[in-house]
A and B are shown apart, each in its own frame.
Chain A
């Protein structure tokens, strides 16, 4: 689902020390975390600050003998909460990052193709903006490669609820975009 080579389960046991664990995790999860935070509406600078703080928290967590289970969802949850603290308005979430997506990726496409893609992404952007906050967050975390169980841990909801939300959100998008 995600383009990143993030393993589903992180083999923490093979790392000899907590510092090594945190460093390796940083290399693997930094980019997905950054992308998630920027899609939440944070600026690049804020997203980088949040990621750094999240990994500092992880370092303290592991150094203090914290659980090594579900580290990925733990990191996303910490970053998610810090992003919420920094963000005054959730209305801007994932609306601005969509604007101009077609121009970025389709530089070498024909003008007709670019026009079609622009219209398509305009519809998709409008559809995404019509989603509720929970629906957007579930889709973003799903796009980050998190499993339903992990999404539930990040957002603090049961896995079955995540499945319902994702199902509803995907169907809404498909209907609004006439896919």
Chain B
């Protein structure tokens, strides 16, 4: 390879100092290899320039349109998933199965029990299940059933809620 081959492009672009440029020009007159190389560099420079000029003529390159539906679908799916997980569920209805009401129990007057305490406030209803084959009795304080003073203190009523067979 010729020793001047590294300066041929600069010679072509007139980027060499005047004296050096003239020296290369004289060299080209007698070096066929360098002349051929300069011819090739000129041609490729012309083609490059041609493409460069064409860039202004043709419409500008457009970016590929983004596939916007992909993130949209993904976002929608994620939103549905989150909503399904976090959506407040309706309170679970507990079915209270009560026994069918039986006819009104018969009430019996019983003697007051000596140890029954007298309360100023109505005594809460206590249910007392007595195993009597097959009976169910509920003790009802008189204060809960009658106005104060209508019934002697300490009187209770026992309701027999034994199902009638």
Contact = CB atoms under 8 A, between A and B. Distances in A.
B139 interface: no
A104 B52 contact: no
A171 interface: yes
A64 interface: no
Interface string A141-169: 01110011000000000000001001100
Contact of A170 (B9, B15, B52, B55): B9
A140 B52 contact: yes
Contacts of A100: 58
Contacts of A177: 44, 47
B51 A101 contact: yes
A56 interface: no
A167 B10 contact: yes
B47 A98 contact: no
B6 interface: yes
Interface residues on B, range: 20 to 34
A5 interface: no
A100 B60 CA distance: 11
Contacts of B41: 170-171, 174
Per DSSP, chain A at the interface is: helix
A2 B9 CA distance: 16
Contact of A174 (B44, B51, B60): B44
Contacts of A140: 52
A179 B8 CA distance: 15
A7 interface: no
Interface in A74-99: 92, 96-99
Interface of B: 6, 8-10, 13, 15, 37, 40-41, 43-45, 47-63
Interface of A: 1-3, 31, 34-35, 38-39, 41-45, 47, 92, 96-101, 104-105, 120-121, 124-125, 128, 139-140, 142-144, 147-148, 163, 166-167, 170-171, 173-174, 177, 179
21 contacts: A1-B45, A1-B49, A35-B56, A38-B61, A41-B61, A44-B60, A92-B61, A97-B51, A97-B55, A98-B54, A101-B51, A101-B54, A105-B50, A105-B54, A139-B48, A144-B52, A148-B13, A163-B10, A167-B10, A174-B41, A177-B44
